[in-house]
Amino acid sequence: MRQRAIPIALGGGRGLLLGLYALFGVYLGWLVVEPGGSASSAKWLYNILLVGSAFVCFKSPHLRGKERAAWLCLGTTLLLWAAGDFYYTLFLWDAAVRPPTVTDWLWLASYPFLYAAIALLVRARTAHFERSLWLDALLAALAVAASGAAILFGAVVERTGGSPRTAAMNLAYPLADALLLGLVVAVVALSGWRLSRSWLCIVAGTAVLALADSAYLYQAAVGASDEITILDAGWPLAMLLLATAAWQPSRQLGTVRLEGARLLAVPAVFGLIALAILVYGQFRSLNAIAIVLAATSMILVIARMAFTFREKMHLLAASRVEARSWTQRRRPF
C-alpha cells in the first residue's frame, strides 16, 4: 500500500493542477480579448489562481516525507504572494500610492521562504553536499544580483522620478529575482545539471517570475498605464509552475562533490564578474548596492579558498595517516 500512495496522490494532484491550468487559459484568453475592459473581473480570477496554487502546494504528497520543510516553505511563499495580491485588490487597486506598501512587504517577504525551500530541497535530496558548495551557490547569487544592481539602479532612479526609497523598492524585485536565479542556476550546476521534473518546474517558475517583474519595472520606468495587460499572466503562471513542482516524483541526487577543474569553475567565473563590477566602479559612478554586493562576493571568494584549503589539508592528513598505517602493517617484525 505504501508503494502505491505516491502515484495515486500524484494522479489527484494532476487533476487539481489541470483545473488550475484550464482556468489560467481562460484568464489568458480574457486578457488577449479585453486587456483593459476585463480588469474588474479578471482581477478576481487572477487571485483565485494564486490561492489555488498555494492550496495545491500545501496538498503535496511530499509533505509526509523528509521533504516536508521544503514544500512547506514553498507553500508559504505562494500564500504570502496571494495575500499581497488580495490586499492590493481590496485596498490599493484604485488608490494612487507609491511603494512601499503592505503588498510590497508581503511579496518581498515571500522570497526568503523561496530561498529556504530551494536549499532545504537540495539538502533533502542529496546524500552528501559539501559545505563549501553552499558558498559557491551564494557567491553566484550575489554576483548576479550585483550585476543587476549595477545595470538597473541608475535607470530606475532616473526614469521613475520617485524618491530613492521608491526606487529602491522597485529595484528590490529584480534584485531578489536575480538572487533567486543565481541560486537556482548555481545549485543545478553544482549538482551536475541533473534536472528532474520538479527542478525543471522550479527553474521555469523562477525564470517567468523574473521576466514578469522585469517587464513591470520597464513599464513603470517608461510610464506605461496600470491596466491589466498580457504581461500580468506571468505571475500566476510562475506560481502555477512552482506549485507543479510540489507534485512531481522525488528523485535523489546522490552525492554531490566537485573535483578537478569543476572545483574552481563557479568561484572563478562569478568572482571575475564581481571583480569586473568593482573595477568598473573606479572609472564610472556606481551605486552603493552594486558595490556592496560585489564586495561581498569577493569576500565569499576568499572564504571559498579557505574552505577548499581546509578540505584539502584534511584529505592530505587522512592520506598520510593511512599511508603510515599501511607501512607499519607491511614492516617485518
Q: In this structure, what C-alpha cell is assigned to residue 133?
A: 558548495
**Residue 306 domain flag:** no
User: Helices 262-280 and 288-330: crossing angle, nearest 10°?
Assistant: 150
Strand 126-129 and strand 254-256: the pairing is parallel
**Residue 330 domain flag:** no
The SS3 assignment for 135 reads: helix
The residue behind cell 480570477 is 45
**Residue 310 domain flag:** no
Q: In this structure, what C-alpha cell is assigned to residue 59?
A: 496538498
Q: How far apart are CA 163 and CA 140, in angstroms?
A: 30
Confidence at residue 269, expressed as pLDDT on a 0 to 100 scale: 82
Q: How many residues does the chain have?
A: 333
**Residue 261 domain flag:** yes
Assess contact for 56 and 1: CB atoms under 8 A. no
Q: What is the dihedral of CA 190, 297, 167, 161, to 10 degrees?
A: -110
Q: How far apart are CA 19 and CA 204, in angstroms?
A: 20
Q: What are phi and psi of 98, to 5 degrees?
A: -110, 150
Q: Burial level of 125, CB count in 10 A (0-12/13-18/19+)?
A: buried
Confidence at residue 7, expressed as pLDDT on a 0 to 100 scale: 41
Q: What's the domain range around 37?
A: 2-300
Confidence at residue 9, expressed as pLDDT on a 0 to 100 scale: 40
Confidence at residue 199, expressed as pLDDT on a 0 to 100 scale: 87
One-character DSSP codes across 188-257:
HHHTTS---HHHHHHHHHHHHHHHHHHHHHHHHHHT---S--GGGGHHHHHHHHHHHHTTSPP---EEE-
Residue partners of 244: CB distance under 8 A and separation at least 6: 17, 201, 205
Which candidate, 22, 30, 19, places its Cα nearest to that of 232? 30
Assess contact for 157 and 283: CB atoms under 8 A. no
**Residue 135 domain flag:** yes
**Residue 321 domain flag:** no
**Residue 326 domain flag:** no
Rg (CA), the chain: 23
User: Helices 131-160 and 262-280: crossing angle, nearest 10°?
Assistant: 30
Confidence at residue 36, expressed as pLDDT on a 0 to 100 scale: 55
Q: Amino acid identity, residue 314?
A: H
Q: In this structure, what C-alpha cell is assigned to residue 234?
A: 506571468
**Residue 92 domain flag:** yes
List the pLDDT tens digit at each of the 333 positions of the chain. 333 334 434 445 667 888 899 999 988 888 877 765 456 677 888 999 999 999 999 988 888 878 899 999 999 999 999 999 999 888 887 766 666 788 989 999 999 999 999 988 888 887 666 666 777 778 887 888 788 778 766 666 565 555 666 666 777 787 788 778 777 877 776 666 667 888 889 989 998 998 888 777 767 666 555 555 777 889 999 999 999 999 888 776 655 555 555 667 778 888 898 899 999 888 887 878 888 888 998 998 888 888 777 766 766 676 666 666 666 665 554
Confidence at residue 6, expressed as pLDDT on a 0 to 100 scale: 40
Q: Please count the structural domains in the chain.
A: 1
